[in-house]
Amino acid sequence: MRKTNLSMGTEEEENEINLTPMLDVVFIMLIFFIVTASFVKEAGLDVNRPDNQQQQEQTESENILIQIRENDEIWLDRRLIDPRALRANIERRHAENPQGSVVVQANAKSSNKMLVLVMDAARLAGVYNISIADPS
């Protein structure tokens, strides 16, 4: 009944927990997450926000202010504009002041279609500096 030293050594080895397979799995998972994270691209738009100094330098008379009301009416210089005549009006105002930019104030209840229409008309008129402002 007496155990020999040889038999006691094998019994102690059987009672120990082998952590090597678990570490292998952890390293494989780590490599997997690093590789997959490098290929994920976030969708979005790059927005260039002007500095406060740049915004203060431009007076309101230099900018072409276009308002879109909640019922999708387009107002330019405090008068109602037909969407078909918007491009011609922007071209005329831009010819008067080539450094001016277009500032669009769209109401939250207006449709996105009108906002895109105004921005497209400004681009077709040759104005590429277009800003969207909060109508407050």
Enter the tokens of residue 94: 């831009």
Amino acid at 105: Q
Q: Residue 60: name the closest of 107, 103, 123, 118 by CA.
A: 103
3-state DSSP: the chain helix, strand, coil percent, rounded to 5?
Answer: 45, 15, 40
Confidence of residue 117 (pLDDT cuts 50, 70, 90): very high
Q: Residue 133: name the closest of 71, 49, 58 by CA.
A: 49
More confident residue, 70 or 53: 70
How far apart, in whole angstroms, are the C-alpha atoms of residue 63 and residue 60? 5
Q: Is residue 103's pLDDT more than 70? A: yes
Catalogue the E-assigned strands of the chain: 64-68, 74-76, 79-81, 102-106, 130-133
Q: Do 128 and 97 belong together in one domain?
A: yes
Q: Do 63 and 34 belong together in one domain?
A: no
In a domain, 86, yes or no: yes
Write down the mean pLDDT value for the chain: 81
Percent of the chain with pLDDT over 70: 71
Question: What is the residue range of 30's domain?
Answer: 5-38
Average pLDDT of span 74-82: 90
Q: Is residue 133's pLDDT more than 90? A: no
In a domain, 47, yes or no: no
Number of structural domains the chain divides into: 2
